[in-house]
Structure 1
Amino acid sequence: MHHVIVLHIHVNAFYVETFYVYLSILVLVDALLLMLGIQHIYI
């Protein structure tokens, strides 16, 4: 039972980490598209 709880916490931590990585990638892509959009408007 104890091992299951530890595993559950580990899996949750993994999902949270993955979520943050996904979120940071989305923010980076969004910033990149915004920069490209601004460049496109200026050019």
Structure 2
Amino acid sequence: MYSIGIRDKRVLTIVSRMLKAPIKGSGVPTRGTPQGGILSPLL
């Protein structure tokens, strides 16, 4: 996201934490975003 122009460290930290958050019943995702996740439209 930094390479496309998003430079705000707070936003990048929040997105990073959300992508690394565990999913109930599945654990921590290794790639991609969960279906229906709130970050899906952004990414």
TM-score computed with the length of structure 1 as normaliser? 0.37
**Which structure has the larger Rg over C-alpha atoms?**
1
TM-score computed with the length of structure 2 as normaliser? 0.37
Structure of higher RCO (CA pairs closer than 8 Å, 6+ residues apart): 2
